[in-house]
Amino acid sequence: MKYNMNILNKTLDNSLHVILIQKPDYVKSLFMLGVPAGGFDVVQKNQDEIVKHSSGCAHFLEHQMFRLNQRDVTQDFAKMQAQTNAFTSYTETAYYFQTTSDIEKPLALLLDFVENLDIDQQSVEKEKGIILSEYNMYEQNPEQRLLMNTWRALYHKHPLKIDILGNKDDISNMTPETLTQFYQMNYDPSRLTLVGVTGKDINKIMDFVIEHQKGVASKIQGDIARIMPEEPKEVVLKESIEYMDITMPYVCVAYKLNPVDTIMDAMRLDIALQMRMDSLFGPLNPEYQTWMDEQIISQVAFAECDFNVDHGYVIFVAQTYKVQEFIDLVDKLVKKIKEPIDPSIYHALSTKLISQNIRSLDSFDSLAIEMMRAHFENYDYLKSLELVKEMDPSVIEDLCSHLDFSYRSIIEILPNESKSSK
């Protein structure tokens, strides 16, 4: 029993995939039902048919799903002593509940409301105002605005440039018919994955799910594919400046990098490059405190990367009065990325990452999300945790040596008062 977990995997007769994870001696249970459709799913292919969805369909539908037989199921979950929630990312949408009580009734309800669409014109119109308010709230958040401006500066066509919420016009014009089409293409048992993390008997739970799903048939013929547009190597904007009602500027130095061939290659490169960036732009670098003292960076400062088969990027972000000094600092750090990492810093980062991975297995929601995502992207999550052990300074240097930092954008959010000085 690796990592003190028992795992049961099964694809049911109706093609619903079920992953049950038993963590002995735990009282809590969490069940998550997800679909591999999110903000990226603007264009999909079903056999020979290409379907274009409104932006924000996945997120809007998530808001609409907590209804069954004209009832708000949130209240029903509460009566069952279960807390429920949902999220939409770029690549998936998931609905889940957690409880320390009986799991059969809330599990049946989770399956029922996700597998049965209950919307009408009135519910859609009501939701528009809620989502537009959420959109405006994000627009007024300088960090959120900085990141959205970053994706728009980097990407010509990739749906990263589109907010998960969608654009305002698409939200305002959303219809039950639009949402129903998206639902029917994606919320089929053949596309859904159920993940359960519990201390209870997972064999009995599997029997319960099998029995529940006997009357639920798959209606989709063939596979549904996400269609991603061809993306040029070049950035859209080399510089982007926007003004907001803030006191201290925000700046992002962003690099558009090539995507990779496989998801495992992406994870290896993610680990290697993130460790290298943390060694340069983090507290383990002796110069980090000097940059703080000189106010080149503040408490809001981070660097991160993300790679997948359809995109790759590196960003350095800071809230600072010394914008140009920060940009110059990032330029110097990027030139060092391909140099060897200090072995002592590597060891400290490796130990920290391995510990984080082990601790993450005790987070029920994190474990469920990662197991679900791994199934959607066809890799073994527990094996992916071992990738950090394959790293060493020479592997990191080799992986980073092939990176091309030629395509850069500088994105700034500046105080309104600074308009006159520009």
- Per-residue pLDDT at 422: 54
Distance, in Å, from the CA atom of 66 to the CA atom of 119, rounded to the nearest integer, reads 10
Q: Are residues 120 and 174 in the same domain?
A: yes
- The total of structural domains in the chain comes to 2
- Structural domain range at position 354: 239-421
Task: Verify that 142 and 253 share a domain, yes or no.
Answer: no
Q: Cα Rg for the chain, rounded, in angstroms?
A: 23
Residue 233 lies in a domain: no
Phi first, then psi: give them for residue 29, nearest 5 degrees. Answer: -130, 145
Whether residues 321 and 299 share a domain: the answer is yes
Q: Which two tokens stand for residue 63?
A: 């808001």
219 and 106 in a common domain: yes
Question: End-to-end distance of the chain based on CA atoms, in angstroms?
Answer: 62
Assigned domain for 92 exists: yes
Assigned domain for 213 exists: yes
Whether 222 and 283 map to the same domain: the answer is no
- Is 244 a member of any domain? yes
Residues 326 and 402 in one domain: yes
Tokens matching residue 23? 């963590």
Verify that 250 and 206 share a domain, yes or no.
Answer: no
Same domain flag for 172 and 34: yes
Q: Are residues 85 and 155 in the same domain?
A: yes
Residues 285, 279: Cα–Cα separation, whole Å: 6
Last residue of a domain, one of 172, 202, 226: 226
**Which of 159, 194, 226 is the last residue before a domain boundary?**
226
pLDDT at 418: 84
- Indicate which CATH number applies to the domain containing 369: 3.30.830.10
- 51 and 170 belong to one structural domain: yes
310 in the same domain as 180: no
CA angle in degrees (0–180, nearest 5) for 170-148-409: 135
Please name the residues in contact with 137: beta carbons below 8 A apart, sequence gap of 6 or more. Answer: none
Read off the DSSP letter of residue 38: S
Domain boundary among 179, 196, 226: 226
Q: Is residue 94 part of a domain?
A: yes
Q: Is residue 232 part of a domain?
A: no
418: which DSSP letter?
G
Does residue 220 share a domain with residue 243?
no
Q: What is the DSSP letter of 402?
A: T
Q: What is the pLDDT along the chain (422 residues), one digit of tens a residue?
A: 678 899 999 999 999 999 999 999 999 999 999 999 999 999 999 988 999 999 999 999 999 999 999 899 999 999 999 999 999 999 999 999 999 999 999 999 999 999 999 999 999 999 999 999 999 999 999 999 999 999 999 999 999 999 999 999 999 999 999 999 999 999 999 999 999 999 999 999 999 999 999 999 999 988 899 999 999 999 999 999 999 999 999 999 999 999 999 999 999 999 999 999 999 999 999 999 999 999 999 999 999 999 999 999 999 999 999 999 999 999 999 999 999 999 999 999 999 999 999 999 999 999 999 999 999 999 999 999 999 999 999 999 999 999 999 999 999 999 998 886 65
pLDDT at 16: 98
